[in-house]
Structure 1
């Protein structure tokens, strides 16, 4: 767990079917600018086959996060590379493990693998994955990832695959690659406590959490209570380190970082008090110069003071 509140810049994603996924600026340049501004992490999300209706109602296009973060890795030196988040049931877990290990090796050990169960029914259909199996497939992935990353021989019989005495090399640099679990449910917190290194609750209005098929988060007091319960569960299970908690900053006025600074600083302090160790912010910008201006201003105001 962090000893101070750390900040992740989430690359802005355009909404709608015609959105340009790179309108906010060349990915490698924006990642390097985020690192230069003092951000600790850089994140991307995942929707490989978003439904047209969902896009038309405010959904967003994305890059493939593991491929794109590999590109960002080559332009940076210290920035954590975060999938916020990748949908575990969409992939065979051996392929997910290999992609993650590859990125971790190439980046010198900088990947944080944020994972979720997924929610968009049409996307599950498009990818040939049963929505009803998403929790079972998620749990399979959480079991397979450390086996694959160990570099030792293992066998595992899944619902749709049968790995017999396989060995995957090279091993990741990190042991283990940090896994953060997304979602607000009790099940998500239990997964984080028992099998992962962090929890990524979803903040936002009830309409958003309902669409994502997860309970609404509620207040920071509720976040604090759930965080304390989750960490106590992890401690009782013999987990060696306290878990990270990653909070997405919901106040969109942060797009003007130099305005209302006292209010934002107070909000960050309350988020940290509730137990969060990382905060995700985004600029909402759809222009490269505006994105760079945001990064510079946020860094000077909150990260370099």
Structure 2
């Protein structure tokens, strides 16, 4: 199967602690997702969201690397994906170290979805300048790639300097885990071409709440235009192969979800030039979460012929 499929883990649902906030939940959900045949299990990144955002439809998030480490410990094949890591929140070498450690100890299973984020209050709480986030994104990706070489490197960035440093061991994946660059803006598309392995869009308004301040990407033409824009930029910068397109979740599994509808949906995305997507599981019970995941594996993943 060349079309990849991910699903988001439910560990952010703090309103149901007995169901999702425990080691038992990690074990059960992770093993079900792997057994179902998903390419990757994903986690989000909001270390300190504002109460205003939470009350208007936002959500909590556990530490992504802690959660993926626990998932990696009870699985063997499932890819471990951030969806997304807000890259400017952390010093790039701290992030590079976490990614390298996780990739090494899970035998090369990390997929690094990353983006600039959009929550001003969270940026402020973390002491990072919101208006500089796009410049920091480009800078931090370059810094991390140097660190992942395993060689001595020098790099001067915004408020930090590596005068001659080294990071070992390197990630198992060479030269580094896949970088899925999030964001729907033209700058994000250029970033995917210049620094990434794939573009990782959110399709809006259907797939996110109105609390997400992101560029519109709501119909087929928007997707085709974005892919064409990346192809044009590849020619400008001399990139031979355009980034893949691996969307965030575009289909939701609720009690009445249809396997045929899911198959048709992913086939349509594939026809547009999308290489992968995700499925969200909407439930308040981890038993139901696992049941939906396993059914999806049997009735959708096993039957995808592209």
Q: Which runs of 5+ in 2 are unaligned?
A: none
Contact 1:6 1:277 in 2 (8 A): yes
Distance 2:81 2:27 in 1: 14
> Aligned to 2:164, what secondary structure does the other structure show?
strand
> Aligned to 2:20, what secondary structure does the other structure show?
coil
Aligned to 1:289: 287
Query: Given the alignment of the two structures, is residue 203 of structure 1 paired with residue 181 of structure 2, yes or no?
Result: no
> Aligned to 1:304, what secondary structure does the other structure show?
helix
Aligned to 1:234: 234
- State the shift of 1:112 in Å: 0.7
In structure 2, relative to structure 1, the CA distance for the partners of 1:241 and 1:101 (3 Å cut) is farther
Number of aligned pairs? Answer: 300
Distance 1:210 1:292 in 2: 28
Task: List aligned pairs for 1:1-305, cutoff 5 A.
Answer: 4-12=2-10, 18=15, 20=17, 22=20, 26-175=25-174, 176-205=176-205, 208=208, 211-234=211-234, 237-239=237-239, 241-252=241-252, 254-256=253-255, 259-305=257-303
Deviations 1:214-234 (A, max 9, x none): 211121232123123314533
> Aligned to 1:247, what secondary structure does the other structure show?
strand
In structure 2, relative to structure 1, the CA distance for the partners of 1:96 and 1:242 (3 Å cut) is same
Distance 1:41 1:235 in 2: 31
TM (norm. structure 1) is 0.91
Deviations 1:102-149 (A, max 9, x none): 111011011011111011111111111111111121111111011000
Distance 2:71 2:249 in 1: 23
Distance 1:34 1:235 in 2: 39
> Aligned to 2:199, what secondary structure does the other structure show?
strand
- State the shift of 1:202 in Å: 1.2
- State the shift of 1:66 in Å: 1.4
Distance 1:107 1:58 in 2: 34
> Aligned to 2:300, what secondary structure does the other structure show?
helix
